């Protein structure tokens, strides 16, 4: 009788089940807080008049779309390269005193990125997606904004102009006469926030999106660039907004070094280098020395 040999047992690793309850709950909570914030920005009080919360839809829809596009850019790039990443986690915030109703969003990367092309694409996908939609929001919202001669309330928060924001205002409205001000439409304000978020993410330090991009572009010079960026943020804090100190400290605390890659010596393609330099220009164009005053 022919002997039957036992068949080997092939163990297939179980695919990680994606947790959707918490991300979905946080998303809904952030929709609510940004709706309330948008209502206040539209000069209505949804606490006293709940039905008027619908007036917060333009702001909430625009801002949530910008933030979601940023995180989905990262998430889809991770999926493309087989990097294990979570769904986006939104962070709701009380509409008062945090007037936008959110602290932003993030994804968790649960496996390391080992290759330069993957690192670069994952890093830039989010900021570029958010930047494009922020520009679209400005194109729609700035013409809807009101140009007024009424001086701003001294108790209001004034928002600074980045070079790119100023460009859109100049192209869509023109130069403002002395004593005139722009009362931003909620859609335009959401676009302003999107540009500022893009700037923060593209800071070329350590583990920020900008830091990953710089590491893929410049390799071993990454640490020198990170240290220089921290120093410049410290100066920006003295010359303008003290909040830049916080971002410099956070960047330094997360780490100025970058984990090495498997293909450390491989150069990026010309196309990726071009995208990298454009992203650095976007960072400069969205930077505001005094974003809030």
Q: What is the pLDDT of residue 123?
A: 97
pLDDT value at 108 more than 90: yes
**What would the two tokens of residue 181 be?**
């001000």
Smallest CA-to-CA distance from 156 within 8, 3, 293, 262 is with 293
Whether residue 237 has pLDDT greater than 90: yes
What pLDDT sits at residue 17? 65
pLDDT band of 45, cuts 50, 70, 90:
confident
Q: Which of 13-22, 63-72, 73-82, 195-204 has the lowest mean pLDDT?
A: 13-22
Question: Model-level pTM?
Answer: 0.91
Give the SS3 label for residue 92.
Answer: strand
d(CA 149, CA 144): 16
Distance CA 100, CA 158 (A): 14
Q: pLDDT tens digits, residue range 85-95?
A: 999 999 999 98
The interaxial angle of helices 209-218 and 270-286, nearest 10 deg, is 140
Q: What is the mean pLDDT of the chain?
A: 90
Q: Identify the pLDDT of residue 16.
A: 58
Residue 94 has what DSSP assignment? -
Residue of 267 and 191 predicted with greater confidence: 191
Confidence of residue 118 (pLDDT cuts 50, 70, 90): very high
């Amino acid at each position: 009788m022919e002997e039957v040999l036992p068949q080997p047992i092939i163990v297939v690793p179980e695919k990680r089940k994606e947790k959707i309850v918490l991300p979905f709950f946080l998303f809904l909570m952030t929709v609510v807080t940004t709706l309330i914030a948008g209502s206040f920005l539209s000069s209505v009080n949804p606490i006293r008049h709940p039905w008027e919360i619908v007036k917060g839809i333009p702001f909430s829809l625009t801002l949530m779309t910008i933030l979601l596009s940023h995180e989905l850019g990262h998430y889809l790039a991770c999926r493309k390269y087989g990097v294990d990443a979570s769904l986006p986690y939104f962070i709701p915030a009380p509409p008062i005193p945090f007037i936008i109703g959110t602290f932003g969003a993030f994804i968790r990367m649960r496996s390391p990125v080992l290759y330069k092309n993957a690192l670069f694409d994952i890093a830039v996908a989010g900021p570029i997606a958010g930047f494009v939609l922020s520009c679209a929001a400005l194109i729609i919202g700035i013409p809807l904004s009101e140009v007024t001669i009424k001086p701003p309330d001294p108790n209001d928060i004034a928002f600074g102009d980045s070079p790119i924001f100023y460009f859109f205002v100049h192209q869509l409205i023109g130069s403002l006469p002395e004593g005139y001000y722009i009362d931003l439409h909620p859609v335009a304000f959401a676009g302003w926030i999107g540009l500022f978020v893009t700037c923060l993410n593209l800071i070329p330090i350590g583990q920020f999106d900008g830091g990953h991009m710089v590491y893929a572009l410049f390799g071993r010079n990454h640490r020198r660039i990170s240290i220089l960026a921290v120093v410049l943020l410290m100066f920006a804090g003295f010359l303008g907004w003290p909040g830049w100190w916080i971002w410099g400290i956070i960047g330094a605390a997360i780490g100025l070094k970058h984990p090495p890659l498997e293909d450390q010596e491989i150069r990026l393609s010309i196309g990726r280098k071009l995208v990298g330099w454009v992203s650095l220009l976007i960072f400069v164009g969205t930077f505001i020395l005094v974003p809030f005053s």
